[in-house]
Structure 1
Amino acid sequence: MGCKIFIIAGEASGDWIGSKLMRELKSLDADIEFSGIGGQHMVEAGLKTLFSADELSLMGFAEILPHIRRLKRLMRQTVDEIKRIKPDIVVTIDSPGFNMRIAERIQELRGKTKLVHYIAPTVWAYKEKRAKTVARLFDRLLMIYPFEAPYFAQENIDAFFVGHPMVEDGLDKGDAAAFRAKYKLADGEFICLMPGSRKGELKRMLPVYERAVEILEKTPVILSNDNMKFALNALTKNWKFRPIIADSRNRADCFAAVSAGIIKSGTAGLEFAFSGKPYVVTYKVNPLSAYMMRRMIKISYVNMVNILL
């Protein structure tokens, strides 16, 4: 029997990173068994899912409150499944609010089960004390940015900079002509919209994006995964400039075809930077969440490109 790995990704970017990790590990050992929580990319890579990552795709403070009972139920379900199968390794990807609570509840398995967290919490932006929590809960930490190392060096945890998997995706090598042909786009300028992958984000962000598109008077292209398409069609059906909804797997070609972008902060902002096109980074949250975050955050920028530079 192969190594059993339980892997948890709670949002779209984690699902994509998790699928790349799974494929790489499978190339080293074809007998590895993956179970856990993920989205369509991880399922395609061979994950046996407990439930979809969409169930955990929430962000903010006030935004989470209406979902607390459901999140607690999902947390109990996850912990029970991990204790039942007793995996050799548990890999948690990003989503520290959920994943740290899971790790706290399965500490009794340590010794036989290794706990690995992939993508360090942004202790350099807020809640610096989380570095101590990570060191207490996990056996190993995998970091995607080199400047994160000093924050964990003094906490006695095996922390490794593994690089950002995004650099392998060829996002600066898209085929504009192929994208235009696939989606039957006429000549002219298009603008890329990336409003996020969470349902709450779509409802908050899309009205702002709609107004921006009307001001710019350019046809929008919205990158979407399969789970978002129905919601996007419903939320944009009355737009003056009806968007082209494109598969997010074609994002490199999309980046090459468009002239600019309006991009949700986070992983998407770093992705679009590879295009070399101008773009603005946006986000909109509940006013209470915004108030709390302004009191906590200790950095001046929200776009990872600005932080890295």
Structure 2
Amino acid sequence: MTAPRLYFVAAEASGDLLAREVIEAVRARQPGAHISGIGGAEMASLGIESPLDIAPLSVLGLLEGLKAYGTVVKLADIAADAIVADAPDAVILVDSWGFMLRVAQRVRARAPHIKLVKLIGPQVWATRPGRAKTLAATVDHLLCMHEIEAPFYEPYGLKTTVIGNPALSRHQWGNGESFRITHGIPANAQVVLVLPGSRSSEIKRVAPALVEAARILKDSDPDRTIIMAPAASVAAQFAEAFPDVAEWATVSTNPAERYDAMAAADLSLACSGTVTSELAMQGTPMIVAYKTGWVTWSLARGLLYKKRHITLLNIVSDDQEIVPEFVQTQQKPELIAARALQWLTDPDALADQRAEQQIALSRMKEGDRDAAEIAAEVILEEAGA
């Protein structure tokens, strides 16, 4: 049997990380597999050279998406050309609904024999269930995170496999003590970790409130240590937007320190996203902020989004606020800082929050196998390996 040829496509930092994990699982099963792809630093660390820069694809919101539409279409064409030229047995499209849909449609039109696997589906259980029909008409197999997703695709006959939440399969527990020693942070110092996002739009819309809230916390106690940890994909943009932050905070942009920083923190101020599950896995209490364009927000709240909360830990907790959310008009530095100070001055409150988050995590688990391992098995089957 010839070695399978696979092509992975990731358009954002979280997808790039998941792609790397799945590729490693594929190689563990099939060391001779030929793997090419489009991605970022995570895939590059495995020696996979991307034929295009994914940075322009990190858009957020309706208006931002419309403005970037021409770029998205152009890059989808380039991606499809690269995929067809590589002649893979299967293409794995990771997250990023809008871009991946366009890539899938183009590959299907040009080379219908290539298997298309969508790794992580759109949140049809929370918004726009009609996307289930669109996806079913475009790809051959969906690898989704939760059991609640599968019923949406059953009427359309799309093969669906639940892999669980990838963040819960990441067993790399952080070493908080090592992080503190490396950065000269006293063992008894209180540490606040700021995770301002991985998209350009998040650095513009969410980071300012989180940075200012952290500044308030620092001013209230100069001995408190603030860690700023923007994703590597937006590190340069963050440094340009906040040139003075290094004067009063420690800036960490090293992906290898990601979990160590989480484990070292007493509390995190985070942009909503995959990182919230990762923080919970490290046992780090958190406060979440989020802001998008008003047109996008109005449409989402009025027509599309069906849940009261946006953080997955809250949604799985019967849509109750386990993790405090400061969204849109509530995303104000003084409000975020006030809640943070309540916890930072009350050890029992922090302990209660850790316990609440662990209960929410237990509701998100789908089994004992790693998500990447399940995904790798299905992908190789689709590729005929």
TM-score > 0.5 by shorter chain: yes
Measured against the shorter chain, the TM-score band is over 0.9
Q: Which has the higher contact order (CA 8 A, sep 6+)?
A: 2
- Counterpart-to-counterpart distance in 1, 2:126 and 2:273: 13
Identify the structure with the greater strand proportion.
1
Unaligned runs of 5+ in 1: none
Equivalent residue, structure 1, for 2:23: 22
Answer yes or no: is 1:282 the counterpart of 2:289. Answer: yes
For residue 292 of structure 1, what is the amino acid of its counterpart? L
* Alignment map for 1:27-176 (pairs within 5 Å): 27-108=28-109, 112-170=113-171, 173-176=173-176
- Counterpart-to-counterpart distance in 1, 2:111 and 2:52: 24
Equivalent residue, structure 1, for 2:312: 304
Equivalenced residue count is: 308
C-alpha contact (below 8 Å) 2:168/2:277 kept by paired residues: no
Which of 245, 252, 260 aligns to 2:267? It is 260
- Secondary structure at the aligned position of 2:184 is classed as coil
Deviation, structure 1 residue 111: 5.5
- Counterpart-to-counterpart distance in 1, 2:60 and 2:83: 24
CA, structure 1 residues 244+83, in 2 after alignment: closer, same or farther (shift >3 Å)?
Answer: closer
CA, structure 1 residues 301+145, in 2 after alignment: closer, same or farther (shift >3 Å)?
Answer: same
1:161-211 Cα offsets, whole Å, 9 max, x none, are 11223223236x322210101222234111111111112211222211122
CA, structure 1 residues 110+142, in 2 after alignment: closer, same or farther (shift >3 Å)?
Answer: farther
- Counterpart-to-counterpart distance in 1, 2:113 and 2:71: 30
Unaligned runs of 5+ in 2: 219-223, 318-385
C-alpha contact (below 8 Å) 1:15/1:53 kept by paired residues: no
C-alpha contact (below 8 Å) 2:117/2:140 kept by paired residues: yes
Deviation, structure 1 residue 110: 5.9
CA, structure 1 residues 54+72, in 2 after alignment: closer, same or farther (shift >3 Å)?
Answer: same
- Secondary structure at the aligned position of 1:36 is classed as strand
Larger displacement relative to structure 2 (83-92 or 93-102): 83-92
- Counterpart-to-counterpart distance in 2, 1:156 and 1:166: 28
Equivalent residue, structure 2, for 1:223: 229
Deviation, structure 1 residue 122: 0.3
Answer yes or no: is 1:11 the counterpart of 2:16. Answer: no
C-alpha contact (below 8 Å) 1:190/1:220 kept by paired residues: yes
RMSD in angstroms over aligned alpha carbons?
1.9
- Counterpart-to-counterpart distance in 2, 1:13 and 1:227: 10
Answer yes or no: is 1:250 the counterpart of 2:257. Answer: yes
1:62-108 Cα offsets, whole Å, 9 max, x none, are 11233222222111111222232321101101111111111122223
Identical pairs, percent: 28
- Counterpart-to-counterpart distance in 2, 1:17 and 1:259: 27
1:27-70 Cα offsets, whole Å, 9 max, x none, are 11122222221111111123231213323111211112332222
For residue 247 of structure 1, what is the amino acid of its counterpart? N
C-alpha contact (below 8 Å) 2:190/2:225 kept by paired residues: yes
- Counterpart-to-counterpart distance in 1, 2:155 and 2:3: 35
- Counterpart-to-counterpart distance in 2, 1:230 and 1:183: 21
For residue 261 of structure 2, what is the amino acid of its counterpart? C
C-alpha contact (below 8 Å) 2:193/2:262 kept by paired residues: yes
Which of 220, 239, 263 aligns to 1:233? It is 239
C-alpha contact (below 8 Å) 1:178/1:253 kept by paired residues: yes
For residue 268 of structure 1, what is the amino acid of its counterpart? V
Deviation, structure 1 residue 230: 2.5
Q: What's the TM-score, normalizing by structure 2?
A: 0.75
For residue 257 of structure 1, what is the amino acid of its counterpart? A
- Counterpart-to-counterpart distance in 1, 2:194 and 2:215: 13
Structure label with greater radius of gyration: 2
C-alpha contact (below 8 Å) 1:5/1:33 kept by paired residues: yes
